[in-house]
Amino acid sequence: MYRYSRQYIGPVQAIIMDWAGTTVDFGSRAPIEGFQRLFASRCIDISETEARGPMGAEKREHIRQLCELPRIRNAWQAQFGKLPDSNDIDTMFEDFVPMQIEAIAATSVLIPGVTDLLLWAEQRNVRIGANTGYADLMVSGLLERAAEQGYSPQSMVCATQVSKGRPYPYMSLTNAMQLGVENLAACVKIDDTQPGIDEGLNAGMWTIALACSGNEVGLSLEKWQALSAEEQDKYRQPAYKKFRQGGAHYVVDTIADAISCLEDITRRLALGEKP
């Protein structure tokens, strides 16, 4: 007869993190540059706000969702005399891949705080996983560049390696299986997009949303640091509100603020709390 396991009261076993806007590429600039270049190659200009809308999705799906926007559909109709179809999206994705690889290579600098989090995890035998909406053929340079800076996750999953990307939980669940996690309540998903947070929630994990280093603010580290405290707060507050309404367990500015959340999760787990 099957017996249910006792309530989990152990420590955090694994941290699963996104890439752009979470651990590298402050401001999540690489995808935006890629999408804007892609549509410009079709003589269609898209705004940064439009490009950021589906952020977190698998990149072909991201392109499809952009093509569903009424303004972009109308611009496509005017340019080509028809609406974009699946063949157009397939061709655009093929063209997008080299553009994205180039943009990723130029922006794969670790975000301040990642090294401290990795040390915290190493000292506690916490395993590190990573996943991304990037296709697997886009990330070899990213992995190499991150490794040069001291970051090599023990598990890496791309959206193209599972049947469905975010907000479905399949990438994080694959990470958890590869890392040998005993209980999903012992996992923490850290992400800078709502679909990434939804992924963690749907997987039954704790979630930490990063409001200022990624998609919601969209500024490079240099531009962010150049803002006054009052200007930063104007960007920060809407992002915090969005993630709190979206169900994130914790919302902080950047990965540099995540350790205090991880320590609080450790305390809550010891009390028998679940995500």
Is 18 annotated as catalytic? Answer: yes
Is 242 annotated as catalytic? Answer: no
User: Environment class of residue 51 by beta-carbon count within 10 Å: exposed (0-12), middle (13-18) or buried (19+)?
Assistant: buried
Intra-chain end-to-end CA distance of the chain, in Å:
28
Peptide bond into 167 cis (omega under 30): yes
Give the active site residue among 25, 59, 189, 192: 59
Residues assigned a catalytic role:
18, 59
